[in-house]
């Protein structure tokens, strides 16, 4: 279980003069669920965008399963096995559940380039299997996403990761906009991922959730990693101290 | 059965939960409009609008009027098929009318006959080498015009990120310029018989129906169609899902350009001449057909079936006004009101949907 899934070395991103991310050294082991915490603008989402290939890093190295990777875009990252659930959900409102699950990687019957014929039946079947596996309940998968609740939409987005047996799942505030019940449902899905031994990076502001679901907490502050805490060796107050800047771990001292 | 009440993993397929397709509303509108004209016809003209009351035809319908209704919308309908796809991506194409003008001029100049009644073609654009060419030449030349104009539209929108309104507005003005420059404003006439056959009789209708079925299939059952809806629905999501949005937009606008070019070939063949003013305002009629047919200007929603119904509504209104012997000005006034009404309805429907969820 000690195989390293993801490792970044000196990962840095500048937006013009803004140093959104500075020298992030991060490690994720097989089957591990790691939380990333930090204030708004601390660089959490920027970090994720570099890993998933949505943006190009300014410098630094990303190693995925020991191999250095340079993703040209989110599709590249996805093909390598990194599945991301983004803050803004990344669902197409007018399409139904199978369409969204398979968006950008449709199952096709005949290959005719861009005019390839879709295999709706296979996609529906795979969708139902994925929803059963993650225990996601959707009244009618052929309804457009537009007509679904926030929780259902989030579940669809997460079910997408489960459908494709990803090697790494990244969730960016998956429950930020959800009610209590819906949050519980999403957290259940996260637990099933844990049982299946799938590694996860979870960005969250919710301390209880992080303590509940994750093994390790990495704290970002002003574009730098300032702490790397095992869940057993820390508590909520301690983490808050790192987030606000009251504390910095000695090994990150020079950075902040 | 607490679980099935909520539905487990979408295993349940509940027909009652399925939304009514919006095309039904357009169909109802079409029927209502026909009924209004029937009523007005019975009241004012003492004859039926669509039915054969005088025993002139074998069937119960007034076949002549049915043919005219569909024939007069077939050519703009071809353009509307492309415009529909553009609007579904959340864009707009204002250039189709001008592309019709430019393409008609250019294609027609490769479709001319060498001799008219024994004397040389008085409208000849090129020398003898361009006379009496096989019909495939002007068709291919015309389609190439569509590819170029549509491709430029798409490339501008996809790679310079300017709004589709501006990009296609530029093409609208420029393509009209090309149409006027091509023959210094002179009409181009006397096509070969083979070329003229493209626009003869009901052929434009068959071409329209064939293309409508083709693009209905493409939008519904191919990756291209799925991505077209996805981009209009949520462009960021489409991009994050790995769809090459830029390349897809170029393809969509190119297809719209090709369809406008096809319409130009059919139109010039039907009229047996090409003039630089051809196709003026066609882009707006095509957009109107799509909008009336339920294609949402905010993107993501609409269908070829809807647009075809929208085109029929258009044809019925034009024929209806002629039938009632009303002047053309009234047609335009009512047409304008219907376009605005269709968009208002669409907004209203969207707000209602938003408040439901």
Domains observed in chain B: 60-345 (1.10.3470)
Helix (H, G, I), strand (E, B) or coil at A27: strand
Contacts of B13 in chain A (CB under 8 A): 140, 142
**What local confidence, expressed as pLDDT, does residue A88 receive?**
58
**Closest approach of A218 to chain B, Cα-based (Å):** 25
Cα–Cα distance measured from residue A87 to residue A147, given in angstroms and rounded to the nearest whole number: 19
Cα–Cα distance measured from residue B10 to residue B54, given in angstroms and rounded to the nearest whole number: 56
Residue owning tokens 């990803």: A166
Type and span of the H or E element at A171: strand A168-172
pLDDT band at A254 (very low <50, low <70, confident <90, very high): low
Q: Report the residue from B7, B226, B251 with minimal CB separation from A138.
A: B7
Q: In terms of CA atoms, which chain B residue is nearest residue A109?
A: B222
Q: In terms of CA atoms, which chain B residue is nearest residue A53?
A: B240
End-to-end Cα spacing for chain A: 32
Q: Is B279 on the interface with A (CB under 8 A)?
A: no
- Both tokens of A139, joined, read 């009244």
Q: Which of A143, A146, A156, A163 to mutate to test the interface with B (most CBs of B within 10 A)?
A: A146
**Closest approach of B303 to chain A, Cα-based (Å):** 12
Taking 80 as the threshold, does the pLDDT of residue A89 lie above it?
Answer: no
* Contact: B300, A92; criterion CB under 8 Å: yes
- Both tokens of B237, joined, read 């999501």
Q: Is B233 on the interface with A (CB under 8 A)?
A: yes
- Give how far the C-alpha of residue B243 lies from the chain's centroid of Cα atoms, to the nearest Å: 27
Type and span of the H or E element at A6: strand A4-15
User: Do β-strands A67-68 and A59-64 pair in parallel, antiparallel, or remain unpaired?
Assistant: antiparallel
**Closest approach of B294 to chain A, Cα-based (Å):** 14
Q: Is B310 on the interface with A (CB under 8 A)?
A: no
**What local confidence, expressed as pLDDT, does residue B355 receive?**
64
CA angle B193, B198, B204 (to 5 degrees): 150
- Both tokens of A26, joined, read 């991060």
HSE of A220, CA atoms in CB hemisphere, 13 A: 29
Fill in the DSSP letter of residue A205: S
Cα–Cα distance measured from residue B212 to residue B305, given in angstroms and rounded to the nearest whole number: 8
Report H helices in B222-244: 223-233, 235-240
- Both tokens of B168, joined, read 């296609």
ipTM above 0.90, yes or no: no
The region of weakest confidence among A1-5, A125-129, B44-48 is A1-5
CB B230 within 8 A of CB B244: no
Q: Average pLDDT in the B306-320 region?
A: 92
Cα–Cα distance measured from residue B233 to residue B82, given in angstroms and rounded to the nearest whole number: 18
Q: Is B300 on the interface with A (CB under 8 A)?
A: yes
**What local confidence, expressed as pLDDT, does residue B55 receive?**
72
HSE of B336, CA atoms in CB hemisphere, 13 A: 6
Contacts of B216 in chain A (CB under 8 A): none
**Closest approach of B4 to chain A, Cα-based (Å):** 9
Contacts of A93 in chain B (CB under 8 A): 233-234, 300
Which is nearest to A34 in space by CA: A26, A22, A23? Answer: A26
Which is nearest to A50 in space by CA: A87, A13, A14, A103? Answer: A13
Ranked by mean pLDDT, the top range of A46-55, A241-250, B168-177 is B168-177
pLDDT of B195-233, one tens digit each?
999 999 899 999 999 999 999 999 999 999 999 999 999
- Both tokens of B321, joined, read 């006004």
Q: Is B230 on the interface with A (CB under 8 A)?
A: yes
Q: Report the residue from B227, B233, B240 with minimal CB separation from A94.
A: B233
Distances (CA, A) of B308 to B79, B81, B121: 11, 8, 39
- Give how far the C-alpha of residue A192 lies from the chain's centroid of Cα atoms, to the nearest Å: 15
The region of weakest confidence among A10-24, B161-175, B223-237, B268-282 is A10-24
Domains observed in chain A: 4-252 (3.40.50.300)
């Amino acid at each position: 279980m000690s195989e390293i899934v993801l490792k970044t070395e000196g990962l840095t991103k500048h937006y013009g003069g803004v140093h959104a991310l500075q020298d992030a050294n991060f490690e994720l082991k097989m089957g591990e669920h790691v939380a990333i915490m930090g204030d708004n603008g601390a660089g959490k989402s920027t970090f994720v965008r570099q890993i998933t290939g949505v943006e190009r890093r300014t410098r630094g190295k990303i190693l995925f399963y020991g191999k250095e990777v340079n993703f040209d875009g989110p599709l590249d990252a996805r093909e390598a096995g990194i599945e991301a659930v983004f803050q803004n959900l990344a669902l197409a409102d007018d399409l139904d559940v199978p369409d969204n699950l398979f968006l950008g990687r449709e199952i096709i019957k005949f290959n005719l380039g861009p005019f390839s014929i879709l295999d709706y039946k296979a996609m529906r079947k795979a969708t139902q299997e994925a929803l059963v596996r993650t225990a996601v309940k959707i009244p009618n998968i052929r309804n457009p996403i537009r007509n679904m609740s926030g929780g259902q939409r989030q579940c669809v987005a997460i079910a997408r990761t489960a459908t494709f047996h990803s090697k790494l799942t990244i969730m960016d505030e998956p429950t930020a906009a959800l009610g209590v019940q819906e949050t519980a449902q999403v957290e259940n899905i996260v637990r099933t991922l844990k049982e299946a031994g799938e590694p996860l990076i979870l960005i969250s502001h919710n301390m209880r959730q992080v303590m509940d679901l994750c093994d390790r907490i990495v704290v970002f502050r002003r574009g730098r990693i300032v702490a790397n805490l095992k869940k057993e060796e820390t508590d909520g107050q301690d983490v808050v101290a790192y987030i606000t800047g009251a504390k910095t771990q000695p090994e990150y001292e020079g950075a902040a | 059965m607490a679980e099935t009440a909520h539905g487990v993993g979408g295993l349940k397929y509940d027909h009652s939960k399925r939304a009514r397709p919006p095309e039904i509303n357009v169909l109802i509108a079409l029927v209502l409009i026909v009924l209004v004209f029937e009523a007005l016809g019975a009241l004012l003209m003492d004859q039926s609008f669509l039915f054969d009351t005088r025993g002139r035809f074998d069937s119960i319908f007034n076949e002549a009027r049915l043919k005219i209704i569909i024939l007069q919308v077939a050519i703009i309908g071809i353009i509307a098929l492309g415009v529909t796809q553009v609007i579904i991506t959340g864009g707009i194409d204002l250039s189709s009318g001008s592309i019709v003008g430019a393409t008609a001029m250019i294609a027609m100049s490769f479709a001319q006959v060498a001799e008219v009644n024994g004397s040389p073609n008085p409208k000849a654009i090129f020398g003898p080498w361009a006379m009496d060419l096989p019909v495939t030449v002007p068709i291919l030349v015309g389609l190439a015009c569509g590819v170029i104009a549509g491709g430029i539209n798409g490339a501008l929108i996809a790679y310079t990120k300017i709004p589709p309104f501006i990009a296609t507005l530029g093409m609208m003005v420029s393509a009209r310029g090309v149409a006027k420059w091509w023959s210094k404003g002179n009409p181009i006439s006397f096509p070969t018989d083979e070329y003229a056959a493209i626009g003869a009789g009901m052929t434009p209708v068959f071409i329209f129906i064939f293309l409508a079925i083709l693009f209905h299939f493409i939008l519904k059952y191919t990756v291209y169609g799925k991505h077209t809806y996805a981009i209009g629905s949520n462009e960021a999501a489409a991009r994050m899902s790995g769809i090459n949005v830029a390349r897809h937009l170029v393809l969509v606008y190119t297809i719209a350009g090709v369809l406008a070019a096809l319409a130009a070939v059919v139109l010039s063949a039907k009229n047996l001449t090409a003039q630089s003013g051809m196709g003026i305002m066609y882009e707006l009629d095509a957009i109107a057909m799509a909008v009336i047919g339920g294609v949402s200007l905010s993107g993501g929603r609409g269908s070829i079936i809807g647009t075809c119904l929208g085109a029929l509504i258009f044809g019925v209104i034009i024929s209806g006004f002629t039938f009632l012997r009303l002047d053309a000005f009234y047609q335009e006034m009512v047409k304008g009101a219907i376009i605005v009404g269709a968009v208002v309805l669409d907004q209203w429907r969207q707000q209602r949907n938003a408040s439901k969820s």
